[in-house]
Structure 1
Amino acid sequence: MTFQILALSGGGYLGLFSAHILAQIEEQAKRPLGRCFDLICGTSIGGIIALGLANEVPAATILQAFESRGLEIFPQKPRWLGRLSDLIQFGFRPKYDGCALRRTIEDILGPATLLGEAKHRVLIPAVNMTEGKIQVFKTPHHVNFHLDHRKRMVDIAMATSAAPLYLPMAEIDDALYVDGGLYANAPDLCAIHEAEHFLNIPRGEISVLSIGTTTSSYSLPHSLGRNFGALEWITKQRIVATVMSAQQQLTDFMVKHQLGDRYLRLDKEQTEELARDLGMDKATDAARRTIKGIAQAVYQVNSTKPLLRSMLEHHAPEPNFHHGPRAAPQESANI
């Protein structure tokens, strides 16, 4: 029996890469993509997409929402003014207020939809800054998971997306949260652990489809020197790009060893030329078109691979939720 995981990395506006690929895969599957996977996980923009798929929102709808709202979420400034403004602003407040992002998420998920209303298992990493601990929001697919199902999906989506420097911290039940990408930008290992430890799935039965955001490789030339201070690391969000890249490389390396040919990673390294158009908050028309072209090419190369085709033929059993509106009657009566 195969247990299939869909893992979606974070990356801001570069999440359009994931959304484009998922829309094409869902069209290939000819049914809601959530029905092909036993567990869906995602971080930051990947978390927003994961929540949508877990609620059977069409991937094309999610894609269209972020394409049409990109400039509202990440308003652009003239290059010289933008860099100067960033350096000044980062010292006092985040770059964006997050209001347009929240409106977009509400359009996708609904303003009051609860995590317990998800149709498929999902897990979403974030960091609880009030407690100083990592937090993984989960559907109630284990008897001990009796809290998260009451939380609104939009609040969880804002928590996993609250990237330091870019967005304000999110608040849920008086606790403050920031982006889960600080420790799990590629959440594949979190999902494998979830399957093994909480769902008792043998590793030999686990398969993973992992989709990146073209952020898995980041490097710096010698010409920039070695003595970076805070301003140099903040410029062009170098520290964020470094953290994201290093995490994803580690995850990819480890999961390849753990799963072998039961692991498929769809991603694209940015070339120096592509990097001119792309960025986590570059919501320009050039970025949109470049991301679409890259995503189409990556999908075409992988669309006929046996692992992907077998994944799309898989029919995930309906999950057993222990709490919330989708719990079995006898269990929900004990809440």
Structure 2
Amino acid sequence: MKIVDVALATAAAPVYFPLARNDRGVFADGGLVGNAPGLFGLHEVKTFLAPKQDALVRVLAIGTMTIGATVRGGASLDRGFGKWRGGLFDLVISAQESSVDYMLRQALGNNYFQIDDKATPDQSKDVKALDRVSIGATNTLKDRGNHAAQRALGDPLFHPFRAHQAGAPIFYHGPNKNVPEATC
């Protein structure tokens, strides 16, 4: 496939962009089911890249300071669609990220590390306004990002991720191809 077709398919976020049609079908934004894609990556390694190997797999998840769907103290828990409104999308994304985080922690133990910082309800107000770029939203994102990075740098479980040296890439196609035809 052409890169442009893949990009249009994966970025076809409902409401923002139209669905994408190509030779393989009709596609919507991959974030609808894979907003936290670490579990998909683990599946790809175990199923396709190293299916019969005991490969060391590490997953570093860099979050997006998910707003989540918080409910204050004594608020009614019987919310219905009318009370959720736009918060329903935040709830779905937050629930997906939380479940992926839980499953990766179970599957990989210390070989999984997440860098993220959950927004408080007050910070969420600034972050929700991000579409209308504001000083408050920008400062909140910078401050929370710096806080999450500092916390990760001080965590000994993050050391193996910082110390990792990637091997030389293998190219099967294109001008940088470095694998003979017989092994492709």
Shorter chain as denominator, the TM-score bin is 0.7 to 0.9
Contact 2:129/2:137, CA 8 A, preserved across alignment: no
| Cross-structure match for 1:264 | 113
CA distance in 1, matches of 2:129, 2:33: 17
Contact 1:216/1:246, CA 8 A, preserved across alignment: no
Please report the TM-score for the alignment, with normalisation by the length of structure 1. 0.47
CA distance in 2, matches of 1:198, 1:313: 26
CA change 1:329–1:184 in 2 (3 A) is closer
Match for 1:249: what amino acid? Answer: S
CA distance in 1, matches of 2:174, 2:58: 28
CA change 1:251–1:227 in 2 (3 A) is closer
| Cross-structure match for 1:145 | none
| Cross-structure match for 1:86 | none
Deviations 1:74-101 (A, max 9, x none): xxxxxxxxxxxxxxxxxxxxxxxxxxxx
Contact 1:182/1:243, CA 8 A, preserved across alignment: no
Moved segments of 4+, more than 6 Å: none
CA distance in 2, matches of 1:280, 1:176: 31
Contact 2:36/2:97, CA 8 A, preserved across alignment: yes
Give unpaired runs (5+ residues) of structure 1.
1-149
Please report how far the alpha carbon of residue 183 of structure 1 lies from its aligned counterpart in structure 2 after TM superposition.
Answer: 1.2
| Cross-structure match for 2:146 | 296
- 1 or 2, which has the higher strand percentage? 1
1:9-158 map, 5 Å? 150-152=1-3, 154-158=4-8
| Partner SS for 1:182 | helix
Aligned residues: 179
1:165-176 map, 5 Å? 165-173=15-23, 175-176=25-26
Please report the TM-score for the alignment, with normalisation by the length of structure 2. 0.80
Please report how far the alpha carbon of residue 272 of structure 1 lies from its aligned counterpart in structure 2 after TM superposition.
Answer: 1.2
| Cross-structure match for 2:168 | 318
| Partner SS for 1:179 | coil
Q: Give aligned-pair identity as a percent.
A: 35
CA change 1:165–1:176 in 2 (3 A) is same
The answer on 1:249 being equivalent to 2:98 is yes
CA distance in 2, matches of 1:280, 1:192: 34
Please report how far the alpha carbon of residue 271 of structure 1 lies from its aligned counterpart in structure 2 after TM superposition.
Answer: 0.8
The answer on 1:214 being equivalent to 2:65 is yes
Contact 1:215/1:270, CA 8 A, preserved across alignment: yes
| Cross-structure match for 1:26 | none
CA change 1:224–1:306 in 2 (3 A) is closer
CA change 1:288–1:307 in 2 (3 A) is same
Please report how far the alpha carbon of residue 178 of structure 1 lies from its aligned counterpart in structure 2 after TM superposition.
Answer: 1.1
Q: Using CA pairs below 8 Å that are at least 6 residues apart, which structure has the higher relative contact order?
A: 1
CA distance in 2, matches of 1:244, 1:288: 21
Give unpaired runs (5+ residues) of structure 2.
none
| Cross-structure match for 1:284 | 133
CA distance in 2, matches of 1:194, 1:280: 36
| Cross-structure match for 1:226 | 79
